[in-house]
Amino acid sequence: MKNREKWIAVAFLAFILVIPAVTIVRSGMPHSEDQLTKQEQAILENNGASADENRTEEGETQTADAAQTAPAQEAGFTKLQNKINHFTDNLFCRSQLIAFNAKLTSLLTGGTYIESTQVLMGKNNMLFYKTELDGHPPIWDYMGIDHFSNEQLEEIAANLVATKAHLESKGIAFYVMCMPNKEMVYEENMPDTIARVSEVSRGRQLADYMAEHTDVTFVYPKDALIEKKKDAQLYYLTDTHCNQKGSFVAMQELFREAYGTYSKLEDVQFGADVTDYVGDLAYIAGLADKFNIDTVYSFEKESADKEQYRDEVLLFVGDSFGGFLSVVCKGYYKEVYWEHPDKFEYSMYEEYKPDVVIFERAERYCHQFNEPVLINAY
């Protein structure tokens, strides 16, 4: 019996030594942009980020804003943490180990185990996106750290004001939306262990600045979403995105600001297409088999208030959130086209001939409002 225990101990020790060793060897091998890991591909496909946005010259993945704006000591710690995260994220057989550990924990304790530098287990089975590899870290916004500087706010405002002026000169109305991170809407489901320095996020900071210093219609629908979440689930439990009910609430806030019209959530209808949906965060965390708990709703555009209908063509330029939001818009505009900012071309104005342009960014990408995407070919 003692010999058997000895061999088990030796095998386990060899296993935990071999895995890091293989990882180190693999990390030294050439890694082309075409050889993305499954996790990297999942992030790119589900969240619309490009590899160029997040990759430094050394091949590390980190947030550009963090490197530019964090204090020196925080930047040093962040760089070290990114190196650790890069190692653990690329650990040999990592996804298999995560899945095995999750199943083992469930069998032994009945609980849920998450080992991920990208996904955070919140309360009430809600998963949150904590990555530093995809836009500005949402957790930083929740904590209220790394705010915009005055110079950054001025740069963003100047770009949006210039865009509005240019589009209006072409007879096109222009509106802007910043979709809140899930952490900002479902604060009560965040772990108590994460301390907050301030409740002001960059989305709120930018919305307040735009309202005070410009005439651009800039919508940050956090308050409306918080108000309605008691009546319906507005963001997926296992996904970074809002569902169609959340999209409806957000768009109605924009309609209120832009047109002075508004419909309540209870006045329209939704179908329930899928009741066991698995979101992007569950896949990233290796828990797809356990977290098939979400419902996918579909907005029934026929139930939209006819008084709100506009005989206009809408061009919706936005990230993956914009895809969800633009579906709701189909109940209120004659024609709706959605284009990702990374794929937008100036010739699309001539192609679609829009009467209205809505420019949207998720809160973790709101620093990208400083890019002249909509007038870059002008």
Written as six digits, the tokens of 6 are 């000895």
Residues 6+ apart with CB under 8 A from 252: 224, 262, 263, 264
Residues 6+ apart with CB under 8 A from 43: 49, 118, 131, 133, 134, 284
> Of 162, 283, 144, which is closest to residue 216 (Cα–Cα)?
162
* CA dist., res. 66 & res. 75, Å (int): 7
pLDDT at 131: 83
Strands 310-317 and 333-339: parallel
pLDDT at 22: 46
pLDDT at 376: 78
* CA dist., res. 206 & res. 211, Å (int): 9
Angstrom CA distances, 138 to 5, 48, 142, 378, stand at 46, 16, 6, 33
Contact 238, 293 (CB under 8 A): yes
pLDDT in single tens digits along all 378 residues of the chain: 455 555 545 554 555 555 455 444 444 443 333 333 344 344 334 433 333 333 333 333 333 333 334 444 444 444 554 554 555 555 555 555 555 555 544 443 334 556 678 899 999 999 999 888 788 899 999 999 999 999 999 999 999 999 999 999 999 999 999 999 999 999 999 999 899 999 999 999 999 999 999 999 999 999 999 999 999 999 999 999 999 999 999 999 999 999 999 999 999 999 998 999 999 999 999 889 889 999 999 999 999 999 999 999 999 999 999 999 999 999 999 999 999 999 999 999 999 999 999 999 999 999 999 999 999 754
pTM: 0.72
Q: How many CA atoms lie within 13 A of 35 on its CB side?
A: 8
Q: Which residue, chain included where needed, has tokens 């709100």?
A: 308
